[in-house]
Amino acid sequence: MFTNRRDVQIQWGDCDPANIVYYPRYFAMFDDSTSILFEAAGCSKQDLVGVYGLVGIPMVDTGAKFYIPSTHGDWITIQSRIEKFNRSSFEVTHKVFKGEALAIEAFETRVLVGRDPADPARLQSVAVPAEIIEKFTRG
Amino acid sequence: MFTNRRDVQIQWGDCDPANIVYYPRYFAMFDDSTSILFEAAGCSKQDLVGVYGLVGIPMVDTGAKFYIPSTHGDWITIQSRIEKFNRSSFEVTHKVFKGEALAIEAFETRVLVGRDPADPARLQSVAVPAEIIEKFTRG
Amino acid sequence: MFTNRRDVQIQWGDCDPANIVYYPRYFAMFDDSTSILFEAAGCSKQDLVGVYGLVGIPMVDTGAKFYIPSTHGDWITIQSRIEKFNRSSFEVTHKVFKGEALAIEAFETRVLVGRDPADPARLQSVAVPAEIIEKFTRG
Amino acid sequence: MFTNRRDVQIQWGDCDPANIVYYPRYFAMFDDSTSILFEAAGCSKQDLVGVYGLVGIPMVDTGAKFYIPSTHGDWITIQSRIEKFNRSSFEVTHKVFKGEALAIEAFETRVLVGRDPADPARLQSVAVPAEIIEKFTRG
């Protein structure tokens, strides 16, 4: 499976009075990382909306285990990949490294959501298009 | 165990282009909810720092399952309780209700962290003071 | 002009490593305050979208002067009012009080934006409906 | 004066239900930009705390004018510079460009704050060290 790595510098505003990252900020970084993973695979979030007609890829289940804290100025590497595509959902993992050390492990299950053609105000799950899967699995 | 319920109105800025809550915002609401739970139990986060000398109660493991989305203007109820105290950590659950329906289930494991008296620059875990446990368990 | 006051408790995650509110969080509080002001006047942001067909009321000019810092646990009062309606924009002020003391003064100029009927992908400014003005000015 | 430019991609979570950047997010980007400006000048925020003993450089006055909106996937360039050093404060401007077009103009006045040696719980303004000014003004 296609994997993306990106380096992120922790900023002052990411940190709380204990001088470590306020953990909801990590979830925002992971959400960005999933978008950037899709873009790197050749299928940006803008394509998901504009080309594939999705409303979004909302979260249905997520979690994270935090092993090593970080503070402002620190650089972390976020390594993201899709572990599995299901019919209308997919599973992502994010591993955060500080140097060689594994600092955080996170997972996501997201569902593809579009509009019901019979009633555009209603949302419904959408099967993952084969060409999206192909973008992540091609050699 | 002492349980706290609070009503939160979803705001415009909590929502993303799909017009539903951007999920990292829920983790910020849950972090607030844990602080408010402590305050309601008679032991505010300010007390944790000022009275008990802690640096904070950082997250070591958290997760959430999202069943029903919400949008701006919606009111949700967040019901929070400590499920269990361990030696230097504790486990919290948050249940989000929209009306009667269970919309989100989340859990947290947090650890009590203070400064090493021998080297204040070093952080170390701290045993949960008995009087804090008592505040959550008294009839 | 109709004025709304609301009390907000500063939370842990609103604060930065200097243990005071991270100032972008105040702008989020002010954005919420403008929404809540509209709702209190009888015209919620949901109405702006659903009843009046607006896309939003985006910011065109904003600023804030910070006189007194706040930290987690502190309660502040945000007093918000529309100072003036222009043809398709309006001006809001927010005053933040800690007790009796004026802690922050902020202003906003926002514009009403809707879709061009001839081309829904294009946005255009929209004249403020008279009945919205009336909600804020009636005795 | 030393000027720093950096490219930022707008992310999904930066945007609101109108599908444009939620403006408080710009203030977070500007706060990051000021930190990155200092780091690029050879005096990081970590240095401000660790070397110069400051508690922070809190905002006393800020504002922004928004000319062109952006949405997720867009790239913007943030050009930041210190316009002027005062005794214990300094003034920053941020200009945001989309391609060649000026999209946002923002300014900041920040003050250097440290601990009162006679009472470390009290904060006080601190004169800008000459060597910091030099880092921004040397040819």
Chain C residue numbers touching B73 (CB-CB < 8 A): 39, 44-46
Chain C residues 23-42 with CB within 8 Å of chain D: 23-25, 27-28, 31
Task: With respect to residue D124, please indicate whether it lies within any of the assigned structural domains.
Answer: yes
Residue C129 has pLDDT above 90, yes or no: yes
pLDDT at B122: 87
Residue B116 CA to chain centroid, in angstroms? 25
Task: With respect to residue D135, please indicate whether it lies within any of the assigned structural domains.
Answer: no
Evaluate whether D66 touches C59 at the Cβ level (below 8 Å).
yes
Residue A76 CA to chain centroid, in angstroms? 16
The domain in which residue A87 lies consists of: 3-128
pLDDT at C60: 98
Task: With respect to residue B139, please indicate whether it lies within any of the assigned structural domains.
Answer: no
Task: With respect to residue A133, please indicate whether it lies within any of the assigned structural domains.
Answer: no
Q: Which helix (H) or strand (E) holds D12?
A: none
CA-closest candidate to residue A37, choices A115, A110, A103: A110
Overall pTM > 0.95:
yes
Helices (H), chain B: 23-41, 45-50, 130-137
Task: With respect to residue A7, please indicate whether it lies within any of the assigned structural domains.
Answer: yes
pLDDT at B107: 98
Residue C96 has pLDDT above 90, yes or no: yes
Tell me the three state secondary structure of residue B23.
helix
pLDDT by residue (tens digit) across A59-110? 999 999 999 999 999 999 999 999 999 999 999 999 999 999 999 999 999 9
Chain D residue numbers touching B12 (CB-CB < 8 A): 16-17, 22
Distance between CA D55 and CA C105 in Å, rounded? 24
pLDDT at C27: 98
Task: With respect to residue A89, please indicate whether it lies within any of the assigned structural domains.
Answer: yes
Distance between CA D10 and CA D22 in Å, rounded? 11
Residue B67 CA to chain centroid, in angstroms? 20
pLDDT at C118: 92
pLDDT at A139: 58
Chain A residue numbers touching D45 (CB-CB < 8 A): 12, 72-73
Best mutation site among A16, A19, A23, A70 for testing chain C: the one with the most C CBs within 10 Å?
A: A16
CB-based contact, C13 to chain B, within 8 Å: yes
Chain A residue numbers touching D12 (CB-CB < 8 A): 31-32, 35, 45, 56
A12 pLDDT band, cuts 50/70/90, is very high
Residue C106 has pLDDT above 80, yes or no: yes
pLDDT at A1: 85
Average pLDDT, chain B: 95
Tell me the three state secondary structure of residue D113.
strand
Averaged pLDDT, A113-125: 90
Chain A residue numbers touching B23 (CB-CB < 8 A): 27, 31, 58-59, 62
Task: With respect to residue D138, please indicate whether it lies within any of the assigned structural domains.
Answer: no
Distance between CA D64 and CA C107 in Å, rounded? 11
B72 with C11: Cβ contact below 8 A: no
Task: With respect to residue D139, please indicate whether it lies within any of the assigned structural domains.
Answer: no
pLDDT at C1: 85
**For the sheet containing B59-66, what is the strand order?**
A3-9, A75-85, A89-98, A101-111, A59-66, B59-66, B101-111, B89-98, B75-85, B3-9
CATH number at residue C72: 3.10.129.10
Do the bridges between strand C75-85 and strand C89-98 make them parallel or antiparallel, or are there none, so unpaired? Answer: antiparallel
- DSSP secondary structure string for all residues of C96-136: EEETTEEEEEEEEEEE-EEEETTEEEEEEE-PPPHHHHHHH
Residue B78 has pLDDT above 90, yes or no: yes
**Contacts across the C-D interface (CB distance below 8 Å):** 65
Averaged pLDDT, B82-100: 97
How many domains are there within chain A? 1
pLDDT at D139: 59
Residue C89 has pLDDT above 70, yes or no: yes
In order along its 139 residues, chain D shows pLDDT tens digits of: 899 999 999 999 999 999 999 999 999 999 999 999 999 999 999 999 999 999 999 999 999 999 999 999 999 999 999 999 999 999 999 999 999 999 999 999 999 999 998 998 888 999 999 999 999 997 5
B139 pLDDT band, cuts 50/70/90, is low
Binding partners of A (≥3 Cβ pairs within 8 A): B, C, D
Binding partners of B (≥3 Cβ pairs within 8 A): A, C, D
Residue B33 has pLDDT above 80, yes or no: yes
Tell me the three state secondary structure of residue C68.
coil
pLDDT by residue (tens digit) across D22-57? 999 999 999 999 999 999 999 999 999 999 999 999
Phi, psi of B111 (to 5 degrees): -120, 145
CB-based contact, B6 to chain C, within 8 Å: no
